[in-house]
Structure 1
Amino acid sequence: MRVQPVTFCRTGLPLAAVFLLLAGSAARAQQAGDTTSVRCGPPLTPMLCVDLDGRASIDPAAGPLTYRWLMGDGTTLTGPVVSHCYKERKNYVVQLDVVVDQTGEVRTGQKYIPVNLVRQDIVDFTAQPSRVRVGESVAFAAPEAQLPNCQNVRLIWDFRDGVVAQGRTAQHAFRRPGTYSVRFSMRGYGADACTGSHCTTREIIVEP
């Protein structure tokens, strides 16, 4: 995710931009109603780590600079490029101060970088246990799954043995041995990415 540039200034002259990149890929979409033919992507788990690059904030006339990142959770990091992992999934505000080494002048950010770890797509589920015998029940749950930019999200379980269920949790017992790629789909409504479904799979091994 790219945010707006952060500008630093002295006597009204802007330094260059700073961008924040959040690692991770967008959820893969499938057509509404399609639960068999579309390949699902890997789970989209909550992202707690961010990479920040401030190398674009340069002022050749000022000489060497020290980059000081205030991460919003009490952590301070230094360097033009930093990585940080938060302990909680919440909203943070990151501030970058640029220090002129020669004079000690601190060029405080006039804008701040929002890091929203709450409004992100999460497409993931648990299956306990993942290895069972025929007739034994498996508990499926998706406690954190969300598509915050979608409306009327439906959670659909396709156990790949002809049985489909809905809801945030499900229980299922397989009647035949084999390896089942259980599919968890999140079907939402809205613009763009919400017009289809987002899905992921996990394998369940069923022994005789």
Structure 2
Amino acid sequence: MKNKWISIVLLWPILASHSYGQEVGCEAAKARFLSFDAKCISRIASNNCVNLDITDSYDFEGKEFVFKWDMGDGTILEGLNINHCYNNPGLYVAKLSLEDPITKAVIQEEAEIDVVIKGSFGLTMNPLEDVRTDIEENASFTLDYPDSAYQIKYTYWDFGDGNFSCEGSPNYSYSKTGTYYRSLLVRLESSIDQVLLCASDSVTVKLADPTAGLLTDAIAQIEIDSRFLEDKPTYFLMKKTGDTYKEVEGQDELTGNATYRIITYRGNLIYDSEDVIVPDGADLKAVQTVISEKTMQLAEGSPSSLQAMFFELDQNELSRKIKKILDDNVELLQNLPMMDVEVGVYTTSGGSYNKGVALSIKRAQLIKQYMVDEGVKADRIKVSSPQTARSLINSCLTGSNCDYVDELLNRRADFKFKMGR
């Protein structure tokens, strides 16, 4: 302290500066991760307020002073116990001056207090979907932090299978099926502060296509006009038990004396091997060989498809032509008991939007009811909201001059496959 007669005691909450040492490098990050036994913190809430309490201060000569605080952001406060909230994160220097109320003498900067305001931080691991063995996926994350004063010092990924990486966004593949628990450690530093964030999630890894994506590559190359149908190609190997099919999740399920079914779909397109029978006594390699050969045969052909249907202007009933298309779609679905269907119904962009939405809903209800009447269970049919799924496939915007054929393409119902529940 600058003045020998004044003793000042400061009491305020610790706002920042979680110190985690000065380790650098991937091995040091791994060591930090392995020793980090505290609760995994993925989000730090903003706390911009401080309390400076000097009520235990006193003057040996019995003098009374006016205590003035310059909070470092242009705010001046008086008192022994003050509270202040900063508008922005950063480093502020709170300076205390004392004024003698009688002589008006001022003791400048009797104390200086560094105040670190963090702001808020958040770390989220971007989820992985449809993860397959031996197929690389990109591990990435989303990081929210106050400003550019903070820089990422290091990242550390633990993939849950005994392997790790210190790359910011590594590509990684799992060699075996199962559920793995990933963890991520990210350290941020500024010139005055350090922050450690941690996040975790689980990844279910399923068996990969033994032909390394032959079918998914083939189906991905087929042009699809409608954005509604633009889905990621999905491969499944199913094993038959009784009258039902269950997805094969591990190599230990690949046995002889069994019936399998290869399914790869995207939008309204589907490759289906139908039943593939593997004889008794076949080992793992023999089963994989049978499946690979059947997959290659499928890829040489063309996928089956759910057909779209088209409506006349303001049409709200099912014509004979539309029913014929629905009959074909129903037959295909009945041969694929493991698959569900999603229906998207659209109108043209002209006219009233609300009227178009109502007409789409009416058409969707007619389509679903017809399919149910023909034997497809109602819970296998999902109808998309026309407000969100509406999708023009050409440039026939409101007010444009389009011919009958172009307008007809937008007055349609699309169907796409979904894996059954």
- Give the drift of 1:204: 2.3
Larger relative contact order (CA 8 Å, sep ≥ 6)? 1
**1:1-58 deviation per Cα after TM superposition (whole angstroms, max 9, x unaligned):** xxxx4x3x4xxx5311354755157445699443446414554958754432222432
**1:95-137 deviation per Cα after TM superposition (whole angstroms, max 9, x unaligned):** 2233455x3836333444152639x9xxx762154x6644386
Where does residue 39 of structure 1 map in the other structure? 37
Change (3 A) 1:164 1:181: closer
Q: Which runs of 5 or more residues in structure 1 are unaligned? A: 146-152, 187-197
Could you tell me whether the CA contact under 8 Å between 2:182 and 2:203 is conserved in 1?
Answer: no
Change (3 A) 1:110 1:78: closer
- Give the drift of 1:140: 1.5
Correspondence 1:57 to 2:53: no
Larger Rg: 2
Change (3 A) 1:15 1:141: same
Could you tell me whether the CA contact under 8 Å between 1:15 and 1:58 is conserved in 2?
Answer: yes
SS of residue matched to 1:160: coil
Matched residue type, 2:37? R
Where does residue 160 of structure 2 map in the other structure? 160
Change (3 A) 1:39 1:156: same
Could you tell me whether the CA contact under 8 Å between 1:48 and 1:86 is conserved in 2?
Answer: yes
Where does residue 78 of structure 1 map in the other structure? 78
Correspondence 1:140 to 2:141: yes
Change (3 A) 1:47 1:97: same
Could you tell me whether the CA contact under 8 Å between 1:41 and 1:200 is conserved in 2?
Answer: no
Q: Which of residues 126, 140, 150 in structure 1 aligns to 2:123?
A: 126
Q: Which runs of 5 or more residues in structure 2 are unaligned? A: 132-136, 147-152, 188-194, 206-421
Where does residue 184 of structure 1 map in the other structure? 185
Q: Which has the higher strand share?
A: 1
Could you tell me whether the CA contact under 8 Å between 1:51 and 1:84 is conserved in 2?
Answer: yes
SS of residue matched to 2:51: strand
- Distance between the aligned counterparts of 1:172 and 1:184, measured in 2? 17
Could you tell me whether the CA contact under 8 Å between 1:54 and 1:81 is conserved in 2?
Answer: yes
Change (3 A) 1:165 1:67: same
Q: Which moved more, 1:27-36 or 1:52-61?
A: 27-36
Correspondence 1:14 to 2:5: yes
Where does residue 170 of structure 1 map in the other structure? 169
- Give the drift of 1:202: 1.7
Change (3 A) 1:185 1:137: closer
- Give the drift of 1:80: 1.4
Change (3 A) 1:138 1:185: closer
Q: Which of residues 201, 205, 218 in structure 2 aligns to 1:204?
A: 201
Q: Which has the higher helix share?
A: 2
- Distance between the aligned counterparts of 1:105 and 1:28, measured in 2? 46
- Give the drift of 1:184: 0.4
Where does residue 107 of structure 1 map in the other structure? 106
